[in-house]
Structure 1
Amino acid sequence: MFMLKSSKSYSLLSNKCFQSRNFRVNRPILNTVNLKGRSFLTLKDYNAEEIQHILWVSADLKHRMKHMGEYVPLLQGKSIAMIFEKRSTRTRMSTETGFSLLGGHPCFLTPQDIHLGVNESTTDTARVLSGLADIVLARVYSHSSLEHLDKDASIPIINGLSDLYHPIQILADLLTLQEHYGSLRGLTLSWIGDGNNVLHSFMMSLAKLGIDLKVATPKFGSKLQFLTDPAEAARDSNVLVTDTWVSMGQEEEKKKRLQDFHGYQITMQTGSLAAPDWTFLHCLPRKAEEVNDDVFYSSRSLVFKEAENRKWTIMGLMVCLLTDYKPQTPKLRF
């Protein structure tokens, strides 16, 4: 059995200033984090305090704009170039609507508009976009494309998804769990499914935030193999998570993958082994073989709150990378 345990050494922020859905101040908060000008390719490059700051800004914007009805045009006069080699619903909608809501102008670029490294070299594309936009979000097949863009660009690059990592999804997951449980530290999250980019990003971040991680993957050529028994992974966990078993580009492997993942569907029986307060996450789109309707549409499921938080967390991230904005609401209780 493999279990990635969190480390107490990552406790960098006070955890006394935010209760789930209820703000309260205990003492003045001094903000020392400034991420302006940074790129966001992988959570490996961000420490606990920086991740917590992004979540704080995201929660602040959600509170001010959704619940208080304020207009907060922090990105007025700025533009974002959105490069999409892969199709998307949540990433495109959250980025376009979020950037516009903050007063900026999003520019969507399909593979027909900008074929990275084909119609024009990636180096030239990076330099051109640096003179035309303030920030780039790229959803690509190969993570090396992002690294190449970042190397030659003079503006921040955000990973909208690559074959190795999906860090913006993890920000949404963390904010959703923060809202639901009131605190992240001490939770146990169980991943049941494929060893993919979402799992890689969980591995780059959870231990920093005091969250334990358990992983169950089948006995086949997965990059990550820690457990093979879904029941063992689910036992005593607070959060059950899965994702697609057949990612884009793996369609030819579908038949074999469905055979390999037989028995990995998350059901209420799986949940019966988890902690009493267990919840379910899925980054969507979901297939029935991954999780049944009883779980997916139950009160345990946070998937639609999770999907909405893609918007607030990408907004928070873009504000952090483009401005030195200081949140107006109390720090979250981590």
Structure 2
Amino acid sequence: MARNTQNRRSGRPQGRIIGYARVSTDEQATEAQEIELRSAGCDIIVQEHGSGASRVRPALSKLLREISAGDTLVVVRLDRLARSVSHLLEVIEDLTAKGAHFRSLRDPIDTSTPQGMFSLQVLGAVAQLERALISERTKAGIRAAKSKGKLSGNPGIREKRPEALARMTAAQKAAYGDRIQASANQWLPTVRRMRPDHTWDDIARMLKQRGLDWTPERLRRAVKWMVTERLVDAALLKKSPPRLPEDRLMTLVAGIHSSNPDLKLREIACQLERLHERTPRGGSKWAPSSVKNLIDRARRSGLITDVDIAAAE
């Protein structure tokens, strides 16, 4: 892909300038946004079609996963990117964590400049105030209802009205999707590397070693949701092939190494011990040579390349 070669004296970051253009379902095309984005120097433009009320945006999710340090994400207006201040701040936080930047052409937001960062801090304060006001209004409403002898909560849900229950279910599904997408960068790369060769149980244990609290069923459900939304390949849900105990150890070692190719044999052995995996002979202590034997088998099976082997030794 093309690279941004702007003058270093301008202070602009070196990297790609990527435009993001979104239109709602009742709009026709992104052409007007694309013209502005190209005029701003965007090398690449990602298009999205969908409602602004939903965070389920496959193109944006893919872009955030693939964006690199030094890149800049550009939008015409803030409402093209996020449906709320809190959502906007989450996206910018993800970009900042990757060393990337954000810029809105019609708003004073440019995270590569001190002025832009100040504007962002103001937005953060606004979001915090907004949450506090909503909380206070909610509490005041509950107190007022109680003083009048009214029950708190949604009367439609209490009375089990179908339309109210349907709205509640839709809201719960949307909130679940938001949580899954917000955390995907932490666990999805490991799932992609290990599925379907490894069981959900093996992957959940691997993630737990990294401090991520997943059960096999919750992990499978999260991936199923992403498949339904067409965010990941359906092949991730394929049934894992049955394996003999040694075959399972071989693929587990291959998966550990694929998740972090820089690990040495001793470090892989330590991970196996923390996972309480028994050696092929039933022991609890793993020697680097035992790991090497499994890696050699994984190489012969095509699970690990010769280059990977050299890195592990």
More strand by share: 1
- TM-score calculated relative to the size of structure 1: 0.30
Greater Cα radius of gyration, structure 1 or 2: 2
Higher helix share: 2
